[in-house]
Amino acid sequence: MNYYKEIKNELINNEITKRVKDYSKNKSDLTTYYNVGKLLSEAGKHYGEGIIKEYSRKLTKELGKGYSVTQLKYIRRFYNIFSKSQSMTDLLTFTHYCAIIWFEDINEINYYIKISIEQNLSVRQLRERIKNKEYERLDDITKEKLIDEKETTVADFIKNPLLIKNNTNKEIISEKVLHRLILEDLDSFLKELGDSFSYIASEYKIKIGNTYNYIDLLLYNYEYNCFVIVELKVTELKKEHIGQIEVYMNYIDKNLRTITQDKTIGIIICKRNNKFIMEYCSDSRILVKEYKLV
């Protein structure tokens, strides 16, 4: 087989298709690059790794820019990944795929494909999520659920640690400053918690007996239909933090929650978790996540 001739014809036909049928150009790109990747992979087995450099030189000379050695390696990798997986979709562009195909774990690739489609991520947004190691910060139980396509809960996609942008350049901050940093970039914080979170109030005032108390952040998750309380602590988790948020959760359930809504979730964001305390916390609605200033 003349691998070079086949590759050249695939690329030329793709250029023609993109000019004539603009509506299907993304699908044409992916199909073409898959087929070219297959040919490159087979050519490499026959002629060795150096064939990529030779084909790059010839394609650039005959077809113009866009066929560098790096680009051809991306195309070959694209084929090698998706020839073994059914997760490729033309809802994403080839540039989206270039951002994720070098992961060794196919489950990590599938995760980024899934969120890119569901949340309509641009390539820039996808790269930002990858840079922040979003998949790595999910717990192992959530990863298993995703692999087995099991039902997930509001707690599953809350990252650990939560990344909070720090414009103070200080490593030691107060709860008040931590609160301000979150509010200054609320959109990023809500994305750290997962999808479907919406903001209700900061320092939400409640009255318990004759005393006023203030919930650091009151949120709502519209996918899981429940209120979410967030309490901020700049220390290691303490047992009194559990008691405090439990009281707040019960207050919201009694005074705000309707019969159609699920029970309130409580999230304690702290400098360090204390797993020994959590061993004796019987309320599964209370979640503890660490934060990291970035």
Whole-structure pTM value: 0.88
Rounded Cα distance between 11 and 202, Å, is 55
Distances (CA, A) of 116 to 110, 112, 263: 10, 6, 30
Domain at 153-293, CATH from 3.40.50.2300, 3.90.1150.10, 3.40.1350.10, 3.40.50.300: 3.40.1350.10
Q: For residue range 111-147, what is the model confidence (pLDDT) as tens digits?
A: 999 999 999 999 999 999 999 999 999 999 999 999 9
Q: What would the 3-class secondary structure string for the chain be?
A: CCHHHHHHHHHHHHHHHHHHCHHHHHHHHHHHHHHHHHHHHHHHHHHCCCHHHHHHHHHHHHHCCCCCHHHHHHHHHHHHHHCCCCCCCCCCCHHHHHCCCCCCCHHHHHHHHHHHHHCCCCHHHHHHHHHCCCHHHCCHHHHHHHHHCCCCCCCCCCCCCEEECCCCCCCCCCHHHHHHHHHHCHHHHHHHHCCCEEEEEEEEEEEECCEEEEEEEEEEECCCCEEEEEEECCCECCHHHHHHHHHHHHHHHHHCCCCCCCCCEEEEEECECCHHHHHCCCCCCEEEEEEEEC
pLDDT at 69 over 80: yes
Q: For the chain, which residues make up each domain, given as ranges? A: 3-137, 153-293
pLDDT per position as a tens digit, 7-48: 999 999 988 887 766 657 788 999 999 999 999 999 999 999
45 vs 10: CA distance, rounded Å: 20
Q: Give dist(CA 68, CA 56) in Å, integer.
A: 5
Q: What is the pLDDT of residues 177-213, one digit of tens each?
A: 999 999 999 999 999 999 899 999 999 999 999 999 9
Q: Which pLDDT belongs to residue 21?
A: 60
Distance CA 44, CA 179 (A): 55
The pLDDT tens digits for 139-191 are: 999 999 999 999 999 899 999 999 999 988 887 789 999 999 999 999 999 99
CB 143 within 8 A of CB 270: no
- Find where tokens 């931590």 sit: 178
In contact, 275 and 239? CB cutoff 8 Å: no
Average pLDDT over all residues of the chain: 94
List Cβ neighbours of 59 (8 Å cut-off, separation of 6 or more): 7, 8, 11, 67, 72
